[in-house]
Amino acid sequence: MLQNQPIDIYCMANQDRSDRVRWLIEELGLDYRDHYLKRKNGDLNSPRYLALNPTGRVPTIVDNGKVIYESGAICLYLADKYRHKKELAPAFEADERAEYLQWMVWSVASLECVIAHMFTHVNTEAEKAETHAFVKKQCEIFQRALNPILEKQEYILKSGFSAADIMLAAVIPGAWDYLVEPNPAIKAYMNRLMQRPAAVKTRVFEVPDVSGH
């Protein structure tokens, strides 16, 4: 399918959950334009933005008139739709399609959701300690799932780099402080991914400037 217009990305910063979307779009070689919204200006709850995304969150994309939000869903959509540009999703009939879907969904539904606990329910010191212990325990379980794979192959799929690596690499840094050391396989994996020209160009791993938000 031809791309008639650049994909519009609505975000607050390159390092919010638009990071994985922009990185994937760059890997796919597609044109895009960023639209930076400011929370403090009420941009997320403006009638114009709510008409695109009634949840008032970012990212949202508009691709040739098609509006879609939810970062994992956007990446699944783009990797399939533009597979002819670059194969970053296994074909529907490929055996690895199952693992691919598993990691695409796991990265957000299991890993990112657990990490997000650290930003909620932490009003008191006791809550903070309890949440920290919970997240640490979960991260140990995540390591148990990822390590045996990353110890024997460079990417999460045996066939090579895919959109699932983008999803995982965008989320793993949030778990960094909770991982059990030594941790060579996940570190080498992240180093490999952080050096990808598309990740560098889209500034996924830079410290965000949130001063204007």
Ligand X SMILES: N[C@@H](CCC(=O)N[C@@H](CS)C(=O)NCC(=O)O)C(=O)O
Please select the residue that binds ligand X; options are 17, 27, 163, 179, rule is CB under 6 A: 17
Total number of residues binding ligand X (CB under 6 A)?
A: 11
Instruction: Pick between residue 5 and residue 41 the one whose CB is nearest to ligand X.
Output: 41
179 binds ligand X per the rule CB under 6 A: no
Distance CA(90)–CA(71), nearest Å, equals: 19
Query: For the window 26-65, what string marks contact with ligand X as x by the rule CB under 6 A?
Result: -------------x----x------------xxx------
Question: Could you tell me the CA-to-CA distances from 187 to 35, 40, 57, 162, 179 in Å, in that order?
Answer: 32, 36, 31, 18, 10
Q: At what angle do helices 163-171 and 71-81 cross, to 10 degrees?
A: 160
Q: Name the pairing type of β-strands 60-63 and 32-36.
A: unpaired
76 binds ligand X (CB under 6 A): no
> Measured between alpha carbons, how far is 10 from 6 in angstroms, rounded to an integer?
13
Among 78, 108, 186, 204, binds ligand X (CB under 6 A): 108
- Choose one: 67-75, 131-139, 160-168, 177-185; the region binding ligand X (CB under 6 A): 67-75
Looking at residues 141 to 160 of the shown chain, list those that interact with ligand X (rule: CB under 6 A). Answer: none
Taking the complex as a whole, the smallest distance from the CB of residue 10 to ligand X amounts, in Å, to 10
16 in contact with ligand X (CB under 6 A): yes
Q: Which own/partner pairs from 47-50 qualify as long-range (CB within 8 Å, at least 24 positions apart)?
A: 49/10
- Selected range binding ligand X among 68-76, 154-162, 183-191, 202-210, rule: CB under 6 A: 68-76
Instruction: For ligand X, give the closer residue by CB, 44 or 78.
Output: 44
Closest contact distance (angstroms) between CB of 119 and ligand X is 10
Binding interface with ligand X (CB under 6 A): 16-17, 39, 44, 57-59, 70-72, 108
